[in-house]
Structure 1
Amino acid sequence: MAFTDKEVEKIKNEMDSFIEKRRPPENIRNQVDLFFKFDKQSIVIYEIRKRFQRDDMIDIPIAKATYVMKAKKWKIYWQRADLKWHLYKPKQEVTAIKEFIRVVDEDRHGCFWG
């Protein structure tokens, strides 16, 4: 089941605020920036940056939250070097998107931002 329009609006507002807070200075956003996308029941945060010694850009996934309707919880994932999503063991699930944002922002174990 997809998110309702009201849920999408709420999530979008929360995520927009977070992204705006974390974005790099305006003068370098043409080289590196942040954005997020909805992907079915998931929200994925990306860093977009110029490829090394090239002019095109690459999207690098940072974090993912997937809503599990039955449990009414968000599962938190991070992408390891194998380029697969893995549950974020220190905090595998949260009940609200704000909690997901807090976990990613704090990044106590250096899994999201390095």
Structure 2
Amino acid sequence: MAFSEFEVKQIERAAAAFLEARRPPAGVRHQVDLQVRINEHSVEVVELRPHHSDLSKAVESPTAKADYVDEAQGWRVYWMASDLAWHAYEPEPQVASIDAFFALVNADETACFFG
């Protein structure tokens, strides 16, 4: 089951606060930027950069993902490794809220999300 309208609004508010804190300055966003995507049961943080041979196209690199798990009443946290597969974020594989997810990603204490 997809997120309810209320849940989407909660996620959008948390995402806006995260992007406000973490996005690069406006002057360099044409070179690197961040975006948050809301899917049916998950939220992804994606880094955007221009394609090396066609600057009009963007290269998207997912960096962090949270899947909502009904049974656990929480969010499972993942990071994208160099093998281009999602891996459980071992220091804290689950958080209770979407705000906690964004705080974890923003802190990036293990440099898994942003290197």
TM superposition score category, shorter chain reference: over 0.9
2:96 is the alignment partner of 1:92: no
Aligned residue identity for 1:32: V
Structure 1 residue 27: deviation in Å?
1.1
What is the aligned-residue RMSD (CA, Å)? 1.0
CA deviations on 1:8-65 (whole Å, 9 max, x unpaired) are 1011111111112211111111121111111210000001011234312101101000
Structure 1: where are the runs of 5+ without partners?
Answer: none
Moved more, 82-91 or 18-27: 18-27
Q: How far does the alpha carbon of each residue in 1:56-104 deviate from its partner, in whole angstroms, 9 at most, with x for none?
A: 2101101000000111010000011110000000000011011111111
Distance in structure 2 (CA, Å) of the matches to 1:4 and 1:57:
30
Q: How many aligned positions are there?
A: 114
Give the % identical residues: 39
Match of 2:49 in 1: 49
For 2:11, the equivalent position in structure 1 comes to 11
- Corresponding residue number in structure 2 for 1:59: 60
CA distance in 1, matches of 2:31, 2:69: 35
Residue aligned with 2:91, SS: helix
Task: For 1:6 and 1:40, locate their aligned partners in 2 and report how far apart those are by CA, in whole Å.
Answer: 14
Q: Distance in 2 between matches of 1:67 and 1:35?
A: 19
> 1:30, 1:109 → 2: CA distance?
27
Q: What amino acid is aligned across from residue 30 of structure 1 in structure 2?
A: H
Does 2:7 correspond to 1:2? no
Match of 1:78 in 2: 79
C-alpha distance in 2 between matches for 1:27 and 1:91: 34
Runs of 4+ residues over 4 Å off in structure 1 = none
